[in-house]
Chains A and B, each alone.
Chain A
Amino acid sequence: MFSDFRPSQQTRRKALVFLTLFAVSFLCIAFLPSHLHPLGIGAPAHAAQDAAKTLSPISIDYPENGSIFPPGITPPTFLWRDAAGTSWSIDIAFADKSAPIHVVSKGDRMTLGPIDPDAVADSNQPPRLTTRQAATWIWTPDADTWSAMQAHSVAQAATVVITGYRDGQVAYSQSRLQFTTSRDPVGAPIFYRDVPLMPSAGVNGVVSPLAPTAIHLIHWRLRDITRPESHTVLKDMPTCGNCHSFSADGKTFGMDIDGPANDKGLYAVVPVQKHMTIDSKDMVSWNPAGQVGTTRVGFMSQVSPDGRYVLSTFAGPDLKLGDSYYVTNFLDYRFLQVFFPTRGILAWYDRTTGQRTPLPGADNPKYVQTDGVWSPDGKYIVFARAEARDPRPAGQPRALHALDASETQIQYDLYRIPFNDGKGGVAEPLAGASGNGMSNNFPKVSPDGRWIVFVQCKNGQLMRPDSQLYIVPSTGGTARRMRANTSLMNSWHSFSPNGRWMVFSSKARSPYTQMYLTHIDADGNDSPAILIDNTTAANRAVNIPEFANIAGDGIEDIAVHVADAPKDPGPKVAGALK
């Protein structure tokens, strides 16, 4: 027996010399580039054991340990990487003593879904697997298996053990994870935009995020996460639709619409119906006399919880796009635009009076005040604020890519202000989301009013590669980085009407943005990100998702007729908007 071996004193001395020589050579050569140096040997080890009994860890990439799935969601695809196994068993054990599930997988490789040929362009690349994804094995439970897995993982977590085999039945690798199924349904569909990533350089060399000839390729879709596919409610729109929101009761819908003639001063507010129509009569013009030109006028508009008001960011009638927004577009389809306001005030539009009024306390031209959102009771507003500045100071070089140091630097802080029936008040910085050297932006208040989830990044806002989601008490406090954050871009989040789920978009798996869900409990603890599968083609991006408090099939289609100028002459403007 090896364990009975006892070396002599002489052998011990020789072994010591032997090991010392090896150890010295190892210390000299270890951890330098492999092409430069040979292998050495490390420090003394314990006695050798039977190699086959030591299972090497498998890297399970999805779902992550501790994941919480919504009830009824379509079966997820498990993802893992394993250097040792050539076939796998997947064993699922349940704490409720129900029969375990045993599945054998020969190993299927991760693949990309179908692509949309209309979204292929010289300025983008076909989706491709990353180095990791190319090494990834997958397993998707069938509907019955997944249904059983969900049913028995509600009260306590289920444990999934993946074991890798080679040479027949010899186990070489293993890892495990636990997941639960929430009692909280998502309970509402997600309304989102489905876009091709086809930046385009015009004849003058100016880059636009999407050529005018391709705007019709934008789709708007509704997804009930219990169904395997999304439903397209709007496509072939002759103009761009942008920021959109629903009232808390799901009865009113608002959307920025660029039209007609690319007038970026139009806003549509319509009742939510199975078959919706947006006509000229439904549109408000933030730009009634054309005094602002064809520029973005309202920004990040938000319908109030009761549907009566619309809150938006305005630069004022004599400021043009170039004076109030930093905008740079790139031909790199992965992050094709940097866009954020550097000047602006909050103003509210009253649908009953047709009047637009600056919000005192958030109307100081010394600052940019933007991203205003309502508390669930409509009593206060949370918004992002920074000192106003020129969007593009003279002599500043043009940024070549997102996060280029040449971007105009701006770090927003979150503020809270009472709405006070439009009279506003004193804006107070939100502790945990201000004065921290980072850009704190895009707040959303949870439906129970207890939490604010916001985006933190180094500079600016919107589509930032480094954006991370944070949660902070709505009255301020210590902000926590959310568990759901993925490795690349986490932004544009929206709470489900019951407040227990949040959807957000991320580029973690692909430059073609996808949507994820996270569960948030009453104490604001969130869970690892759950991918919403099959939301679009593999070469299209889904973004700006918003929960709508309607039935899963609450919107069948939306017809947009914006060829004519709006009949409404536009809101009366109260007070100075500069």
Chain B
Amino acid sequence: MTIRPFFLMVGMLLASAGALPGQAPCTPPESMKAQLQDNPKAAAYTDLGVWFAGQKQYACAADAFATSLQKEPDQKDAAHIAFMFGVSLYFSGDFRESIPALQEAEQLGYRDGSLHLILAGALDQSHSTRDAEQEWRSALEFDPESSTALDALSNDLLLDKDFPAVIALLNVPRLLGQRTPQQSLNLAAAYAATGKLDEAANLLRDGLNTSPDSLDISNRLAIVLMQLNRGDEALALLDLAVKQHPENARAHEALGLVLAQSKEMGAAKEQFERAIALGDNSPEAKANLAKAVAALGSEK
């Protein structure tokens, strides 16, 4: 039998396996101890892995699944166990090692959308954006409405500045009812980046009506409205946002910026001051306030 690289990796991982520092030790339940002592076959370790995963002891679960795979690489459920091994690694925080495990699960014939979701997440965590995009798309093959995949893939495409791909991905009638705030933001960003400001404004308005508490959408819509020279709408929008979120520094900062744009420096200054008082200690907030104060001073 040829030992594939994947199983070599499993062996290497086993050599350094065990509970992570700060985690509970990998102690099997009493009910399984006897089975593991008397009959330590692959299936027993698989059961143990499932048990550890149920206890959210993912490093221990990964250890158990790895042992199962090493004991019997060609077992009937190897694909599923490799998947569980990869998932356990992922949830234990070992994103990089989870990637080959999940890829092996797929090669062994495991076909499920969750494999691609987790693999894509691991690839994104490892900054392999292009590979992650492929996996997000594979996940969407299984569930075209997966908000996890749509959110993440559109994020990745936006980082690539592939705006037409973002539009093609998200401007789909089927997704209308399911659109998340992140998808609204990303699709609007793609529209705006391709000069379709009216579409961006309409989409963000619709998104805000779906997610009234989203300051991200509210702020982004205000920006687009300002670009469209619809300052009165932007002011009304952010005025309401401040009413809805009186203790949110970002809401005040955003309103201050639009007021400044509208040359209402006194009102802008008040909003910048309020933002800082609410804890916005960023250099930008301080600079904005300084500029507003300077502008007021110049006016005098």
Contact = CB atoms under 8 A, between A and B. Distances in A.
Contacts of B257: 22, 39-41
Interface stretch (B2-10, B51-59, B71-79, B188-196): B188-196
Nearest to B227: A42
Contact of B264 (A14, A48, A135, A508): A48
B97 interface: no
A132 interface: yes
A170 B245 CA distance: 18
Interface stretch (A5-13, A379-387, A407-415, A472-480): A5-13
B215 to A, nearest CB: 9
A236 to B, nearest CB: 34
Given A8-B298, A42-B227, A2 B264 contact: yes
B62 interface: no
Nearest to B287: A21
B261 A31 contact: no
Contact of A38 (B155, B230, B282): B282
A41 B229 contact: no
A52 B236 contact: yes
B173 A31 contact: no
Contacts of A403: 144
Interface in A140-172: 166, 172
A300 B142 CA distance: 30
Interface stretch (B11-19, B98-106, B121-129, B217-225): B217-225
Nearest to A129: B177
B268 to A, nearest CB: 10
A172 B240 contact: yes
Contacts of A465: 144, 174
A404 B193 contact: no
Interface in B233-280: 233-237, 239-240, 243, 250, 253-254, 257-264
B26 interface: no
A121 interface: no
Contacts of B182: 33-34
Contacts of B206: 59, 81
Max chain A CB contacts within 10 Å: which of B178, B232, B259? Answer: B232
A43 interface: yes
Q: How large is the interface on A (under 10, 10 to 19, 20 to 34, 35 or more residues)?
A: 35 or more
A42 B189 contact: no
Contacts of A48: 231-232, 235, 259, 262-264
Secondary structure dominating the interface of B: helix
A58 interface: yes
Contact of A130 (B142, B177, B226, B260): B177
A76 interface: no
B226 A43 contact: yes
A42 B223 contact: yes
A56 B233 contact: yes
B168 interface: no
Contacts of B263: 2, 5, 7, 15, 47-48
A130 B178 CA distance: 6
Tell which of A26, A41, A132, A172 has the most Cβ of chain B within 10 Å. Answer: A41
B284 interface: yes
B174 A488 contact: yes
A13 to B, nearest CB: 9
Nearest to A48: B262
A533 B260 CA distance: 50
A41 B185 contact: no
A46 interface: yes
B82 to A, nearest CB: 19
B240 A14 contact: no
B212 A83 contact: yes
B162 interface: no
A133 B211 CA distance: 11
A45 B258 contact: yes
Contacts of A7: 263, 298-299
B186 interface: yes
A41 B223 contact: yes
B148 interface: no
Interface in A119-136: 130-133, 135
B179 A132 contact: yes
B209 interface: yes
26 contacts: A7-B298, A14-B298, A18-B294, A22-B257, A30-B223, A31-B193, A31-B220, A32-B189, A34-B182, A34-B220, A39-B250, A42-B225, A42-B261, A43-B226, A44-B229, A46-B231, A48-B263, A54-B233, A54-B236, A59-B206, A81-B209, A83-B212, A131-B178, A132-B176, A132-B178, A487-B173
Given A40-B257, A132-B176, 5 more contacts: A2-B263, A15-B263, A25-B284, A31-B158, A44-B229
Interface of B: 111, 141-144, 155, 158-159, 173-174, 176-180, 182, 185-186, 188-190, 192-193, 205-206, 208-212, 216, 218-220, 222-227, 229-237, 239-240, 243, 250, 253-254, 257-264, 282, 284, 291, 294-295, 298-299
